[in-house]
Chains A and B, each alone.
Chain A
């Protein structure tokens, strides 16, 4: 065996890093990835489910685009996901692993719901909304502040800390909904009769305000990260705490401040969910968006505009999957496999943008490239 291996030929394939690829290449690789994904999916659909792939794709497309209502739902989901992604961006840019968005959103939702229930009928509408917004911001900010403060003070592990804060939030919400529902079997829609604290319909659409708020946040956060002194500090701290200290940046201060901002925006997402979307609260109000948003923030490398694109892709795939599942009464897993394949190819294409493969016996070609 030993004698054999010492005489084997060169490895079949080797991986080498590629220098910055031109834009045309990036587009071409991604387009090829989507095309390939559709082909693989077609094979899966045809051989496993026996359906016509083209029809399935049409239904999937229809999940988002078939009607105005569907499209507005997609936009609503996108706004929620994107809002949380925006909240996470500065924390991750600072290399602070905020896994607690789910909890920060929940406490924001809870603060909103509590104010709706207990002050909905006593406060004038503008004051009520102001109280709901401030309440959600503060609640989220507190949920961001606590793990940041502990990390700044005692260097606790923020990944575990923020993660565990999620469970605390869930338990508090469970407890409070039980109190709020009183004798009723479930909490149901809040302020159903008066609609107090419901975001109004604007331009004939229910979710206009959600979308506008998130749109504004997209621009503001982009500018904050790129042009502000705070953004510069966040970038330096994220790159190296030693460099930050060397530059005279107060690392603890920046850490706590950034997490307050991150948590507060998550709290605001909670406000949008309760006041602008569900009009109720439960332990699942955040709906896993707090975790999906982590993927969104990372894939977009913290650029809020890319985040919008990626959020859209994820929402589109998710809605497409459930549409397929219901239209063909397929097992939900089969639908998930179909969208999963698309996601896999799109993410996998990043590898071919950043690396190239060198096959055995292709030296000359490598040099010429």
Chain B
């Protein structure tokens, strides 16, 4: 293969799904020894484009060149043969195998099965690029970051020299991100071409040599990272100037609305997924909850919402406005009991279509999800929810063909607007949100931040479970850090640092009592 400077080149790639054009006439090249960031909002077609290189999809139009050669990539196997490896957001590992055994699965079918040889080669790869990987550890014992490392080693083991990483930092702490970036730089030094799909601007600026930007499936342009800044990249990504500051009004007259004491939850496998967590939430403030995904955030919110049984000794109390001295216990109450007790508790769950909404129903059907039972008639009232749906559509600017169009057919941002709109319409006293901006574009994310701030100003106690530490630090008043199901300190968001939060996400601290 002649050593041209381009590792891979796309020319006029178009891909459509039904009526939706995911990529339109995209031309792009990646050079050897280069780290390219592929930047774009959710739904801009980044992953689709890379999936075509990795052999998951086949382009409708256009050509792909590896080196100088036009190629047809019809399967991941074809892609690997051409030296292209993709690390997907969802790992493809065998849980009960060790790291080494997973790597051995990548051997050529014709090769003799020789674990020792595999071990030597894998070890050489780890040493060469600086991966910290225990080859004898079982996958189910690994952290997300370790699994990701294993995926990368696997791809390198197969001889990939073009690596595509799809949102690699989404699940990592700041410290783990730094480690990942270090090995990526080592790969670059070795002459490999690396593409990172991302929508996080500061990471783009830290790691990449060049940024290519997609907007609504079209190629906007590329820019050398040294000439780029956040405002400029955002503008290219969104298509117009965006105010990137999140406002944070001072809490006015904070009143305790929710008190959680010694909350523990036992998981389906018997272990404690939530262990002795205590905190208070105040009206007029936003309480952030930080932690690596799966460290008890889901169980915490669900226990409060009445969806999760809590262990004996747990206390969850709600303080209604005007009745601050007579708290109501939420323990043992179902969501319906909570509603019937007149407690305005709104909950925007993480799984929007799997828990918060009914995907096959339209906006109207979803507006009545919590209120359909009111009144004594056996017939459901669709008039009131239809009016509410119309209101939400207008106020939050939900884009939908009609109020009866199944919400699963709407874009992610509009789905979230429907869910948040319904929950806000219930005039909450306590509002819990889990990953409220996950997968949303920048504008919708800022709309959501704005809505949360409005609730805060109204005196609502807002609980915000988030994954983006920058946002948590900018938006929240206090941050509760969860680590392994335990509360690992409550920090003042105005004074703490990202490193401090990141550290507490991974290591349990002795000084748990950092109450503000």
Interface residues in chain A, defined as those with a beta carbon under 8 Å from any beta carbon in chain B:
2, 5-11, 14, 16-19, 227-233, 235-236, 239-240, 242-243, 245-250, 358, 363, 366-367
Bound-state CA distance A10–B72 (Å) is: 7
Residues of A within 8 A of B58 (CB): 10-11, 14
Residues of B within 8 A of A245 (CB): 307, 335
**Quick one: given A8-B74, A16-B17, A17-B17, are A229 and B61 in contact (CB under 8 Å)?**
no
Q: Is the CB of B336 within 8 A of A248?
A: yes
Q: Is the CB of B378 within 8 A of A246?
A: no
Residues of B within 8 A of A5 (CB): 74, 78
**Quick one: given A248-B334, A248-B336, are A243 and B369 in contact (CB under 8 Å)?**
yes
Q: Is the CB of B78 within 8 A of A6?
A: yes
> Could you tell me the distance in whole angstroms from the C-beta of B164 to the nearest C-beta in chain A?
19
**Quick one: given A7-B72, A363-B61, are A248 and B339 in contact (CB under 8 Å)?**
yes
Bound-state CA distance A231–B82 (Å) is: 54
Q: Which of the four size classes fits the interface of chain B?
A: 35 or more
Interface residues in chain B, defined as those with a beta carbon under 8 Å from any beta carbon in chain A:
14, 16-19, 58, 60-61, 71-72, 74, 78, 81-82, 305, 307, 334-336, 338-339, 347, 349, 351, 353-361, 365, 368-370, 372-373, 378-380
Given contacts A239-B361, A240-B353, 6 further A-B contacts (CB under 8 A): A9-B72, A11-B74, A16-B18, A229-B379, A243-B356, A245-B335
> Could you tell me the distance in whole angstroms from the C-beta of B401 to the nearest C-beta in chain A?
10
Q: Is the CB of B360 within 8 A of A239?
A: yes
Cβ contacts A to B, 15 pairs, < 8 Å? A5-B74, A8-B74, A10-B72, A229-B372, A229-B373, A232-B365, A236-B358, A239-B361, A240-B353, A246-B305, A246-B347, A246-B356, A248-B339, A249-B336, A366-B16
Residues of B within 8 A of A366 (CB): 16, 60
> Could you tell me the distance in whole angstroms from the C-beta of B383 to the nearest C-beta in chain A?
12
Closest 7 pairs (CB-CB, A-B): A248-B336, A248-B335, A242-B355, A247-B369, A239-B358, A19-B19, A246-B355
Residues of A within 8 A of B370 (CB): 247-248
Residues of B within 8 A of A17 (CB): 17-18
Q: Is the CB of B72 within 8 A of A243?
A: no
> Could you tell me the distance in whole angstroms from the C-beta of B51 to the nearest C-beta in chain A?
15
> Could you tell me the distance in whole angstroms from the C-beta of B156 to the nearest C-beta in chain A?
21
Nearest A residue to B75, CB-CB:
A5
A229's partner among B72, B338, B378 (CB-CB below 8 A) is: B378
Q: Is the CB of B355 within 8 A of A363?
A: no
Residues of A within 8 A of B14 (CB): 363, 367
Q: Is the CB of B361 within 8 A of A235?
A: yes
Q: Is the CB of B18 within 8 A of A19?
A: yes
Bound-state CA distance A17–B355 (Å) is: 26
Q: Is the CB of A6 within 8 A of B335?
A: no
**Quick one: given A8-B72, A19-B18, are A228 and B380 in contact (CB under 8 Å)?**
yes
